[in-house]
Amino acid sequence: MAVADTPVYVEGIALNIGWHDATKDLSELIFDTVTLALEDADQSIDAVDSVVLAAHDLVDGRSLSSMVTAPAAGAYLREEIRFSDDAAGALVGAMTKLESGRARRSVVAAWGRSSEYNYDQFSQTLFDPIYGRPIGLNEFVLSAMRAQLYLATDHHKEQRTRASLRRDEAARANPRALKSGGYQSAAPYPLVAADLPLWADVAVALILSVEPAPIRVIGAGQSSEPYALGDRNLRALQGLQLAAGRAMTQAGTTGAQLDVVEVDGLTLIDEAMGLESIGFAAAGHGLEQLADDPRCNPSGGGAAGYCPPAMGLVRIVESILQLRGEAGVNQVAGARRAMATGSSTVAGQTHTAIVVEAA
């Protein structure tokens, strides 16, 4: 059977966004989240033959983190793959195994506890140790450089304010968002506090299967940009544009046919540029789209709680909740098809786009 002939379905999902829960260590948080996803799928761990994880050793504070955390995700005596990249990429890895016939059901899980580490220090370690780290580069600095190019004209000022207000309102209405605790990093110019994500503790899990279920993954695309900053066009997310194009081509759809988009971005400006890159907003109008279109990041995006490497999978789960009609106050009426994106490594070097559809 050809890979393209093997449909992949989402059977169950679970999402936990919190802050410094002293009653659970990381393994317990992972175990509880995966258990909830299995219960949502009406399956037991005995029905799972593959586990794909997204985790960072530096985020977890443990060398070879998966040796400690993988059993809690159900990987004991099962084939396991770990991605140290964004969790949307882990989902594609799980899809590949299912489509190839190497597995029939897979757990995809990701996590990160911002309450246990300093993200600014972590992100600085991603940069070149000779030229990047010594001058204090981190992902927010790179996002600020991108924002300065994006905000070069004054007409963005009013749109930026409205987009920020709508994002905060959506996050407050989202029942899964962080309601207390968390923190924000310092905002390098021209970014301001309202542009930044709210750091949180995040655990998310999803059950994929080749068995028919109400939600199907109909498109997936990935791409990567050069590591060296001087080799990239910071005013555009070319990798995301390629990934989204591949996902929509595979899904046989266009941006205009999407009912919901959940675009990952480290900052509000990155989210706006993401909307433009996937073709859901015209060039230069991403902030306007975020401000006025309820289909764009109805979850509240980074304002609802943020911690790599889990965020691509969070965006996917939020999209699936929309298709299931279970998104709460932020539900988009009649949503049948959605795109979610994930990005990672030095402010969006890698990109993944996923299209899901209600069967």
Question: Closest Cα to residue 185, out of 131, 134, 114?
Answer: 114
How does pLDDT run along the chain (359 residues), one tens digit per residue? Answer: 234 579 999 999 999 999 999 999 999 999 999 999 999 999 999 999 999 999 988 788 777 777 889 999 999 999 999 998 899 999 999 999 999 999 999 999 999 999 998 888 888 888 889 988 898 899 999 999 999 999 987 668 899 999 999 999 999 999 999 999 999 999 999 999 999 999 999 999 999 999 999 999 999 999 999 988 889 888 889 999 999 999 999 999 999 899 999 999 999 999 999 999 999 999 999 999 999 999 999 999 999 999 999 999 999 999 999 999 999 999 999 999 999 999 987 878 999 999 999 98
One-letter identity of residue 30? I
One DSSP character per residue, 262-309 reads: E---SSHHHHHHHHHHTTSS-TT-HHHHHHH-TTBSTT-GGGG-B-TT
Q: Is 282 exposed, middle or buried (0-12, 13-18, 19+ CB in 10 A)?
A: exposed
Instruction: Round the CA-based radius of gyration of the chain to a whole number and report it.
Output: 19
One-letter identity of residue 279? G
One-letter identity of residue 325? G
Q: pTM of the full predicted structure?
A: 0.96
C-alpha–C-alpha distance, residues 133 and 294, integer Å: 39
> Please, are residues 323 and 358 in contact by the beta-carbon 8 Å criterion?
yes
Q: Where do the structural domains in the chain lie, given as residue ranges?
A: 3-117+200-209, 215-358
C-alpha–C-alpha distance, residues 350 and 223, integer Å: 6
Options 3.40.50.2300, 3.40.47.10, 1.25.40.10, 3.90.1580.10; which CATH number does 3-117+200-209 get?
3.40.47.10
Pairing of strands 260-262, 337-344: parallel
Q: What 3-state class would DSSP assign to 351?
A: strand
Quote the CATH superfamily of domain 215-358: Thiolase/Chalcone synthase (3.40.47.10)
Q: What 3-state class would DSSP assign to 107?
A: strand
Q: How many other CB atoms sit within 10 Å of the CB of residue 332? A: 19
C-alpha–C-alpha distance, residues 55 and 47, integer Å: 23
- The reply to whether 3-117+200-209 and 215-358 are identical in fold is yes
